[in-house]
A = this chain, B = another copy of it.
Amino acid sequence: MSFLQNLNWRYATKKYDVAAKIPSEKMELILEAIRMAPASNGFQTYDVMVVTNPEIREKLKAAAFNQPQLTEASVILVFAAWENINANNLGKVFDQIAAVRGNSESLTERRNKSIAGFEHKSVAENFSHAAQQAFIGLGFGLAAAAELKVDSTGMGGFNPAQFDEILGLKEKGLRSVAIMALGSRDAANDWLVNLKKVRRPKTDMFHEVK
């Protein structure tokens, strides 16, 4: 098992084998990698919907330009960032830190400072910050899938408002920001699998400041 050895094996799977199911132990490891992903200040400001329900997935597909992965992959994850960061949801994070590490005066001070900091910012800024953490989690999830030789697709190209409606995210204070499809490639019918992977040359993307 090595993530780095599978960087070229992985690709954005376009056509999944509908009959293939991800073994539950692999699924658990992928979710665990997402759960253990780092986040700014350790604040995991997003939730993940694990969608297997076929009717819901049909609806999501219609709200995602009919991209076939929505119904053909084994599992669909929808990353949903917190709409805002405030005393309510961040308070729970601090409750948990206190439960794990013990409460202290300095933790209370950090709690108050952190909440005040986010409340000082606009809802849009906080949502954007929350979404960025979700994309780190998406990266960890895609890396975990690669290590386990589970095929995956990080996906945009959907109507977030419709996704939020279908999944009841608004009531939860969440907004959908990314999809991750998981399953097994149907290599014989995937138009992308044999196309050469295109990445920017190293000298174009990286700049040494030395």
Residues of A within 8 A of B (CB): 1-5, 7-8, 10, 12, 29, 31-38, 40-42, 44, 47-53, 56, 93, 96-97, 100-101, 128, 131-133, 135-140, 142-144, 147-148, 154, 156, 167, 177-178, 195-202, 205-210
| Count of identical protomers in the assembly | 2
In the assembled complex, which residues on chain B have CB atoms less than 8 Å from the CB atom of A143? 3, 139-140, 143-144
Known: A53-B210, A154-B136. A196 touches B144 (CB 8 A): no
Known: A143-B143, A205-B44, A208-B50. A198 touches B100 (CB 8 A): yes
Q: Contact between A200 and B96 (Cβ–Cβ < 8 Å)?
A: yes
Q: Contact between A207 and B139 (Cβ–Cβ < 8 Å)?
A: no
Find the residue from A2, A167, A195, A199 having the highest chain B CB count within 10 A.
A199
In the assembled complex, which residues on chain B have CB atoms less than 8 Å from the CB atom of A33? 3-4, 7
In the assembled complex, which residues on chain B have CB atoms less than 8 Å from the CB atom of A2? 1-3, 147
Starting from the known contacts A48-B205, A48-B207, A100-B196, 19 additional A-B residue pairs (CB-CB under 8 Å) come to: A1-B2, A1-B4, A4-B33, A4-B148, A8-B36, A12-B38, A35-B199, A40-B154, A41-B156, A49-B206, A49-B209, A50-B208, A50-B210, A51-B210, A93-B200, A135-B135, A136-B138, A139-B142, A143-B143
Q: Which of B139, B144, B147, B156 contacts A138 (CB 8 A)?
A: B139
A114 to B140, CA, bound (A): 27
A71 to B206, CA, bound (A): 20
Known: A96-B198, A100-B196. A147 touches B36 (CB 8 A): no
A114 to B91, CA, bound (A): 41
A42 to B154, CA, bound (A): 10
Kindly provide the distance from the CB of A97 to the nearest chain B CB, expressed in whole angstroms.
5
